[in-house]
Amino acid sequence: MIKTAVITENELMKLNEQFVHLQCQINFRLWHGGNDSTRSKREEAHDCMMKEARIMMSYKHRNVVEFYGVACDRPPVMIVMELCPGGNLETHLRKMSGSIMPGERIVYCLEIARGLRYLHRKNCIHGDLACRNCLISKHGEIKVTDFGLSKLVDEITAETKILRPQDRLPVRWMAPETLARIPLYSTKSDVWSYGVVCYEIFNNGEKPWPYLEAKIIAKSYKNGKLPNIPSATPPQIAKMMTRTWHLKTERRPNFDEIIVTLTKAHGAIPPPPPEMRTVFSLEGVIRRTPEEEKKLNDEEMKVTTSASLLSSASSASTAESIETSPTRINGAAPSKIKTTKCGDSLDRR
């Protein structure tokens, strides 16, 4: 187990197969040369990355990909994270499609919601939630990823971010308030994105309005026009999705409410037995023993109960926006009250 947020290249090479490193190509001229201003910016970004690395190492939740460290003593910068052999959820949904039972799809929704609730309790806004950014762990759990340092690395790897025509924002997953000239990210913009994730889950990984241009989708969202909810979506979840897409952020549910709704949905549509869950057919994915699962559930229950007691008094006034709360955007504390998130032009979609 790595004890420090910063690791050397030699330490990285000693990691065994349970770790994976994600390489980010780095600008050699920026790293080794440049003027004083360039070096100052690089050093500032480096310090910021180290600070965020230490914070991210404290994130421990079964539905959040675990972060082990970052190697930045020489290019390329390497982020070391938990290996999730099942791949991303979007690919799994497309590949297995009709084989996935409704109860298993609700499990996906519930596990992602638990991961987001944890991040929000840590004052971390994800800012880029989508099925492509949810991974299937070695035990078949869905884990949220692609937040924090994956965005901050951009600040240390390039002098200037060049916007090319093919670069575009993930508009289909973005709340209307984040599509404004001055984007406003909050826990409730994550809730909007979560509604789109549920759309993907019950639509076999297909995104809403696949053939529409991004600018048309952005205009539709701002005008309150929403995609039709997939017909396979259970009624109670369809109703919840509609709430996540409310134009007024204060009318959207938080993840505590969402988890209650999904738990009730499981009462009507129970999850299939483990042997019938498609995630366990994936290479490298194995089931926990009943004893291991019980122990993990008991530990999680204790943590959840403790967190609920601490937050119950202030739940009604939970920060809805970065205008009133020092919430971390993609793991990074904003330097200004209104701010854009790191790496917002680098999305693949």
The answer to whether residue 298 is catalytic is: no
Mean pLDDT over 107-120 rounds to 97
Q: Is 243 left (phi over 0), alpha (psi -120 to 50) or beta?
A: alpha
Q: How confident is the model at residue 99 (pLDDT cuts 50, 70, 90)?
A: very high
Q: Where are the beta strands (DSSP E) in the chain?
A: 19-24, 67-71, 77-82, 124-125, 134-136, 142-144, 328-329
φ and ψ of 22, to 5 deg: -105, 120
- Give the pLDDT of residue 305: 62
φ and ψ of 80, to 5 deg: -105, 120
Q: How is the chain split into domains, by residue range?
A: 84-288+318-329
Q: What is the pLDDT of residues 194-209, one digit of tens each?
A: 999 999 999 999 999 9
Choose between 205 and 78: higher pLDDT.
Answer: 205
Q: What is the pLDDT of residues 34-75, one digit of tens each?
A: 556 666 776 777 777 777 788 888 899 999 999 888 877 777
Buried/exposed code over 83-117 (b: 16+ C-beta within 10 A; e: otherwise) = bbbbebbbebbeebeeebbbbbbbbbbbbbbbbbb
Q: Which of 36, 128, 344, 347 is catalytic?
A: 128
- Give the pLDDT of residue 53: 80
Q: What is the pLDDT of residues 120-169, one digit of tens each?
A: 999 889 999 999 999 999 999 999 998 755 444 444 444 333 333 334 68
Choose between 115 and 337: higher pLDDT.
Answer: 115
Q: Angle CA(44)–CA(4)–CA(150) in degrees, nearest 5?
A: 50
| CATH among 3.40.50.720, 1.10.510.10, 3.60.20.10, 1.10.1030.10 for 84-288+318-329 | 1.10.510.10
Radius of gyration of the chain (CA): 20
Tokens of 303: 């943590």
